[in-house]
Amino acid sequence: MEEYHRFYGNATFDDAGTAEASQLLLRVYLEKRERKYRAPLDKAIQFVLDAQYPNGGWPQRFPFVENGGVHGHADYTPYITFNDDVAGENIEFLLYAHQALGSNDARLVDAIERGMDIYVKTQQPMPQPAWGLQHFPDTLKPAPARTIEPQAFATHTTGTNIRSMIGFYKLTGDRKFLARLPEALDWLDQVKTPQNLIAPGRTHPTFILEGSNTPIYIHRRGSNITNGQYYADANPNNLIVHYGSFRNVDTAAIRREYEAAAAMDPAALIAASPLRAKAGSLKLPKYFTLRDVSVWDMSTDARRERAPAPTAIAAHLSGLNARGYWPSPLTTTSNPYIGEAPVAVTGGEYQTTRVGDLWDTSPYTTDYPVECISTAVFIKNMGDLIEALEA
């Protein structure tokens, strides 16, 4: 992966890295109300505001660096990014901060509104009313990123952005967010996976070429970082397995969500909107790790519909070892670094494997897991136990 071939020395919005860390700072400050937590929180808020383009988009990384590209490719990290819901996560954090701090900071509302508007601005014209993973900040056209992410429309991103814009309509009552969604849904129906390639989880090709609606698929040649290369073409066979060339986009479900939202009264939506409510009138959700939470969970416990079963609680209690952790299998490993990879391709078949030759340090699933402490298991089990105590 190209992002590991260069040290950027800056911060990332990818995978909600900055947004979720900032949410944690916000939650700690609201719990403690101590000055030592407010200073880093204010710094995080200012960082998100500073990183936003005037047109409302956010880059993948910030501050920008010079000569950030690798292997002769342009630096994609300044491009407006929808991949991994970068924009949506930043909007959510700013909305949490706006409400929970009750500061009436007009900068936050302005940034939220511009952040929502970039979705409208970047939806492309007919006959391809869709979005890419990234867009150029000046032309707002789809842009390339890593070589596994070509300059193309992305079907899963288009589906995610449609759902985001339905949410923006519920926040604002402004029908501009709904106006062109039927076009995007119709386009998704047009570019479904060809009948001969349909399989579970493969409703749509991931990437569709701009100007032709031709699907393209991601492949790899070579055996390591030195001689390896990703490329895209129209061949749906021998695909890489660590990045999906197909996606599952439930257009029927999204269309139902759109139709339900379109029938809602804008005035009623505004009256119930956490964005339009008086700043400070809503609290953060009590829990953030029991399930996925959103701004609509504010002033609730955000618990699950069903509490954990007594048998699950008993298993957690009995599974905790004497050292205070739940032993878990570490199923992912990587080859140890043994020096610079050779230019010559090592013999073997690496097109469809998760790892290349012995010089490739990419992670892969091992047949010989070892014991580890899993943060995911810890968070899940602790959440179950805390919820059981309050049942």
- Cα-Cα end-to-end distance for the chain: 45
Q: What is the DSSP letter of 123?
A: S
Residue tagged 């021998």 (tokens): 238
**Model confidence over 298-336: pLDDT tens digits?**
999 999 888 899 999 999 999 999 999 999 999 999 999
Helix axes 106-122, 155-172, angle to 10 degrees: 140
Question: In which band, very low, low, confident or very high, does the pLDDT at 67 lie, cut at 50, 70 and 90?
Answer: confident
The residue whose two tokens read 């610079």 is: 340
Give the rounded percent of residues in the chain with a pLDDT score beyond 90: 91
- Single-letter residue type at 141: K
Residue 1 pLDDT: 58
pLDDT at residue number 104 = 83
Kindly tell me if the per-residue pLDDT of 381 is higher than 90.
yes
Q: Rounded to an integer, what distance in angstroms lies between the CA atom of residue 331 and that of residue 365?
A: 6
Residue 376 in tokens: 């995911």
2 confidence band (pLDDT: 50, 70, 90): low
Q: With a cut of 80, say whether residue 27 has pLDDT above it.
A: yes
**pLDDT reported for residue 305:** 87
Query: Does residue 268 carry a pLDDT above 70?
Result: yes
pLDDT, mean of residues 214-234: 95
The CA angle 374-377-382, to the nearest 5 degrees, is 125
Q: Give the model's confidence band at 227: pLDDT under 50 very low, under 70 low, under 90 confident, else very high.
A: very high
Report which of 302, 315, 331, 323 is spatially closest to residue 381, judged by C-alpha positions: 315
Q: What are the residues whose beta carbons fall under 8 Å from the beta carbon of 208, sequence distance 6 or more?
A: 128, 130, 152, 153, 154, 155, 191, 214, 215, 216
The whole-chain average pLDDT of the chain stands at: 95
pLDDT at residue 391 tops 80: no
